[in-house]
C-alpha cells in the first residue's frame, strides 16, 4: 500500500510518520515539499505518488493568528482538504482527515456527538468546518476524525507551556471554564494506524461503508486548570519547578483575538460502536506520555 502523509512535522504528523511505515510504503511531506496554500502543488504531489491512502495531518492551527490570516487558514484548512478528497476519489484512494472540537460553540453542557449542530466561534473553527464540508462533498471513501486538545511532548503544546511556566513563576493562573478532552498525539496516530490495519485488505470498500465524521479524543474530559495540575504532578523533573500555587481563572481574564468554546468535550461513542476501539482515559495517557 502506498501512503502519502501531509504535515509530517506537526504534533500528529510526527507520530504518524513513525507508525505508518508498518502499514505500507510511506511518502511523508512537509510544507517545503507541498505547501497547502499552493493547491496545484497538492495535486501534483498526489499524482506523482499515486497513493492508496492519503492522510492529512497538516492544518493551520494558530487559532488567534487565524483571525488576521483568514485567507491562509481557509486555503490550508478548507480548500486543500477538498482537493485531497477529490484527488483521493479519482485515484481510488482512502482519505483520512482530522478536524476539531472548535466547530462547536461550547454552549452545551454534556459532550458533543456528531449529530449536534456546529457553530464555530472563530475563524480557525470556521475554516475547519468548511474543510469538513469540502471533504464530504468531494470524497468517496474518507474518515474525518474530529479530535480535541492535541498535545505532544515536543514543540509548543499546552503540556510543554505549563512545564515551562512552572519553572519561571511561583503562581500560575489557569482557566477553569474551558473544558475538553486532552488527546496525546501519539495515541491518535496509533489509533489511526489501528483503524487502517483493522480494515485492511479492501481498505477502500471498508472505509467507504463507514465513511463520515467521527469524534475521537482522549476518554473523559477536564478543565485546563485540572489538566495543568496533573501535568505538574506527573512532571518527571519536579525539582526544577518553582511554582507554589496554581490558581483557577476565567477565560474572560485573558482576552484573546479568537473566542474559544467553553465546553467542547467530545462524545466518542459513535467511533467506539463502529470500530470497537476507544482511546484510553486522558489521565492515564498523560501519565504515560510524561513518563517518556
Ligand atoms: N492542536 C490541537 O489542540 C488540536 C485540537 C483539535 C484538532 N486538531 C487538529 O488535529 C490535526 C493535527 O493537529 P496538530 O496539533 O498536530 O497540528 P500542528 O502541530 O500545528 O501541525 C500542523 C502541521 O501543518 C503544517 N502546515 C501548516 N500550514 C501549512 C501549509 N501551508 N502547507 C503545508 N503544511 C502546513 C505545519 O507545518 P510547519 O511545521 O511547517 O509549520 C505543521 O507541521 C489538525 O487537523 C488540527 O486541526 C488539533
- Work out which ligand 1 atom sits closest to the CA atom of 32: 33
Question: Would the CB of 149 count as within 6 Å of ligand 1?
Answer: yes
| pLDDT score at 261 | 96
- pLDDT of residue 292 exceeding 80, the answer is no
User: Quick one: average pLDDT of 64-92?
Assistant: 98
Question: Would the CB of 56 count as within 6 Å of ligand 1?
Answer: no
Catalytically annotated residues = 124
Distance 98 CA to ligand 1 centre (A): 10
The model's pLDDT over 147-180, given as tens digits with 9 standing for 90+, comes to 999 999 998 999 999 999 999 999 999 999 999 9
Distance 110 CA to ligand 1 centre (A): 27
d(CA 167, CA 122): 32
d(CA 143, CA 87): 15
Three-class secondary structure assignment of the chain: CEEEEECCCCHHHHHHHHHHHHCCEEEEECCCCCCCCCHHHHHHHHHHHCCCEEEECCCCCCCCHHHCCHHHHHHHHHHHHHHHHHHHHHHCCEEEEEEEHHHCCCCCCCCECCCCCCCCCCHHHHHHHHHHHHHHHHCCCEEEEEECCEECCCCCCHHHHHHHHHCCCCEEEEECCCEECCEEHHHHHHHHHHHHHHCCCCHHHHHHHHCEEEECCCECCEEHHHHHHHHHHHCCCHHHCCCCEEEEECHHHCCCCCCCCCECCECCHHHHHHHCCCCCEHHHHHHHHHCC
| Grid cell locating 26 | 510511506
User: Quick one: average pLDDT of 239-248?
Assistant: 97
Distance 281 CA to ligand 1 centre (A): 23
Q: By the 8 A CB rule, do 151 and 126 touch?
A: no
| pLDDT score at 155 | 84
Pocket test for ligand 1, best of 12, 42, 59, 260 (most atoms within 8 A of CB): 59
Question: Radius of gyration (Cα) for the chain, nearest Å?
Answer: 19
- pTM of the full predicted structure? 0.97
Question: Would the CB of 150 count as within 6 Å of ligand 1?
Answer: yes
Cβ-Cβ contacts under 8 Å for 173 (sequence gap 6 or more): 247, 248, 249, 253
Question: Whose CA is closest to atom 4 on ligand 1?
Answer: 150
140 burial class (0-12, 13-18, 19+ CB within 10 angstroms)? middle
Distance 62 CA to ligand 1 centre (A): 9
Pocket test for ligand 1, best of 58, 78, 104, 126 (most atoms within 8 A of CB): 58
Q: 98 forms bridges with which residues in the sheet?
A: 145
| pLDDT score at 162 | 98
The model's pLDDT over 191-228, given as tens digits with 9 standing for 90+, comes to 999 999 999 899 999 999 999 999 999 999 999 999 99
Question: Would the CB of 217 count as within 6 Å of ligand 1?
Answer: no
User: Quick one: average pLDDT of 102-120?
Assistant: 97
Question: Whose CA is closest to atom 24 on ligand 1?
Answer: 58
Question: Would the CB of 104 count as within 6 Å of ligand 1?
Answer: no
User: Quick one: average pLDDT of 81-95?
Assistant: 97
The model's pLDDT over 52-65, given as tens digits with 9 standing for 90+, comes to 999 999 999 999 99
- pLDDT of residue 74 exceeding 80, the answer is yes
Amino acid at each position: 500500500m502506498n501512503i502519502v502523509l501531509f504535515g509530517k512535522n506537526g504534533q500528529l504528523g510526527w507520530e504518524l510518520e513513525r507508525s505508518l511505515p508498518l502499514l505500507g510504503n510511506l511518502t511523508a511531506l512537509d510544507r517545503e515539499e507541498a505547501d497547502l496554500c499552493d493547491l496545484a502543488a497538492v495535486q501534483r504531489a498526489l499524482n506523482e505518488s499515486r497513493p492508496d491512502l492519503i492522510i492529512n495531518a497538516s492544518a493551520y492551527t494558530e487559532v488567534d493568528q487565524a483571525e488576521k490570516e483568514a485567507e491562509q487558514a481557509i486555503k490550508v484548512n478548507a480548500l486543500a482538504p477538498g482537493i485531497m478528497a477529490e484527488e483521493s476519489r479519482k485515484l481510488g484512494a482512502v482519505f483520512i482527515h482530522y478536524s476539531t472540537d472548535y466547530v462547536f460553540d461550547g454552549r452545551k453542557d454534556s459532550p458533543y456527538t456528531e449529530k449536534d449542530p456546529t457553530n464555530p466561534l472563530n475563524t480557525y473553527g470556521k475554516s475547519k468546518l468548511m474543510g469538513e464540508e469540502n471533504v464530504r462533498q468531494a470524497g468517496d471513501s474518507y474518515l474525518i476524525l474530529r479530535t480535541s486538545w492535541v498535545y505532544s511532548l515536543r514543540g509548543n503544546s499546552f503540556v510543554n507551556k505549563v512545564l515551562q511556566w512552572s519553572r519561571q513563576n511561583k503562581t500560575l493562573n489557569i482557566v477553569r471554564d474551558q473544558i475538553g478532552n486532552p488527546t496525546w498525539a501519539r495515541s491518535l496516530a496509533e489509533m489511526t494506524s489501528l483503524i487502517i490495519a483493522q480494515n485492511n485488505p479492501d481498505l477502500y470498500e471498508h472505509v467507504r461503508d463507514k465513511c463520515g465524521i467521527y469524534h475521537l479524543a482522549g476518554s473523559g474530559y477536564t478543565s485546563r486548570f485540572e489538566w495543568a495540575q496533573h501535568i505538574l504532578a506527573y512532571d518527571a523533573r519536579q525539582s526544577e519547578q518553582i511554582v507554589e500555587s496554581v490558581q483557577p481563572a476565567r477565560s474572560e481574564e485573558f482576552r484573546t483575538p479568537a473566542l474559544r468554546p467553553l465546553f467542547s468535550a467530545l462524545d466518542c461513542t459513535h467511533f467506539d460502536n463502529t470500530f470497537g476501539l476507544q482511546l484510553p482515559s486522558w489521565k492515564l495517557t498523560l501519565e504515560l506520555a510524561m513518563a517518556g
